[in-house]
Amino acid sequence: MNSKEKDKSRRNFLRKGFAIGAGTIAGMGALSTFAGNEEKKSGEKVKLLTADGKLVEVDKTDIDCKTADCLPTHGKAARKGIPGRKFVMVIDLSKCANARKCIDACQHGHDLLPSQEWIPVHLMKNNSISDPYWFPKPCYHCDNPPCVKVCPVGATFKRTDNAVLIDSDRCIGCKFCISACPYSARRFNWENRDSYSDNDSDYSPETSLPGQHGVASKCDFCPDRSREGKLPYCAKSCPMGAIYFGDSNEDAITNGEETLRLRETLETKAGYRFMENLGTDPNVYYLPPVDRMFPYKRGLKNLSEEQLKAYENILSKTDK
């Protein structure tokens, strides 16, 4: 079970007529109005005009967009991208405390194994003096993606909305993209699992569901959730609000609580892209870990012995 299926069962409204207001609200113009409150009834009522002229009042969370724009696309259409969108992500490193909620939510939403982290959190240390910091690393959805370049069958592709997606129905599993990605963002479905299914008609590169064995997989920027006006799993679940997601055409990013101007944020807060020198032109920006809300050690508290071992390369160089 994933939350998408749960959402489906709640799509009981607006079957008969299409509300005039729904289009504009659900049309993702204002990401912030939706973010963070789709799980429970908000209690907030919205007045809508139905097609036959009646004014109805519905709970805000019951509004589900039913136009073609709101459903994940399949096949060839999925290679095009959502018109007019340019998705970007901004991760504020000063806020990340390695709560690992983004990893959990992403794994839950995308039916991943514990070993498959689409947004692993690394512990980084820039030099011997500066303090270590936590560094969530999704796929960067590069404008010049090395993975797309090397794919022999065009199973991975760049869309107009900035997302780099994988067509699991076409992927032959040669793993070239995994070795070509300089950021190690890609994973492989090594095992056969019961939840996997080949050539499923529900499958869309936008949802990456259901998975398939023997193919590459990675962070997909959750364009299906954007279609519904929701934030990606990671951005939505981060308790610190470290992950902002938005659209560079709109010049707006949000973490669900606050909405910022993208350009202004990057300008004033010294936003940077990881390893800019590689020329891959990522669409994920970082805000440097300055004026941190928490010491990095707080991120070590909830980790098991096993997980701590992973960060040994940094921890051995710092006094614990």
- Name the site residues for other proteins (rule: CB under 8 A): 115-116, 120, 122-123, 137, 146, 149-155, 170-176, 178-180, 182-184, 186-192, 213-216, 275, 278, 304, 306-311, 313-314
Q: Whose Cβ is closer to other proteins: residue 35's or residue 78's?
A: 78
Contact assessment for residue 95 and residue 258, using Cβ atoms and an 8 Å cutoff: no
Q: Whose Cβ is closer to other proteins: residue 24's or residue 184's?
A: 184
Please name the residues in contact with 166: beta carbons below 8 A apart, sequence gap of 6 or more: 155, 156, 205, 208, 215, 216, 217, 218, 220
Q: Whose Cβ is closer to other proteins: residue 17's or residue 288's?
A: 288
| Three-state SS at 233 | helix
- Min separation Cβ 303 and other proteins, Å: 9
Contact assessment for residue 316 and residue 174, using Cβ atoms and an 8 Å cutoff: no
Q: What angle do CA 180, 137, 297 make, to 5 degrees?
A: 135
Q: Whose Cβ is closer to other proteins: residue 9's or residue 192's?
A: 192
Which amino acid is located at 139 in the chain? C
| Three-state SS at 88 | strand
Q: Whose Cβ is closer to other proteins: residue 125's or residue 225's?
A: 125
- Min separation Cβ 211 and other proteins, Å: 12
Report the alpha-carbon distance of residue 146 to residue 134 in Å, rounded.
Answer: 25
Q: Whose Cβ is closer to other proteins: residue 67's or residue 184's?
A: 184
- Min separation Cβ 126 and other proteins, Å: 11
Token pair belonging to 149 = 């370049």
DSSP code of 6?
Answer: H
Report the alpha-carbon distance of residue 214 to residue 173 in Å, rounded.
Answer: 6
- Min separation Cβ 302 and other proteins, Å: 14
- Min separation Cβ 179 and other proteins, Å: 6
- Min separation Cβ 161 and other proteins, Å: 22
Q: Whose Cβ is closer to other proteins: residue 12's or residue 304's?
A: 304
Contact assessment for residue 20 and residue 63, using Cβ atoms and an 8 Å cutoff: no
The residues with which 124 forms a beta bridge, in sequence order, are: 133
- Min separation Cβ 108 and other proteins, Å: 19
Token pair belonging to 293 = 């809300």
The residues with which 183 forms a beta bridge, in sequence order, are: none
* Residues constituting the chain: 320
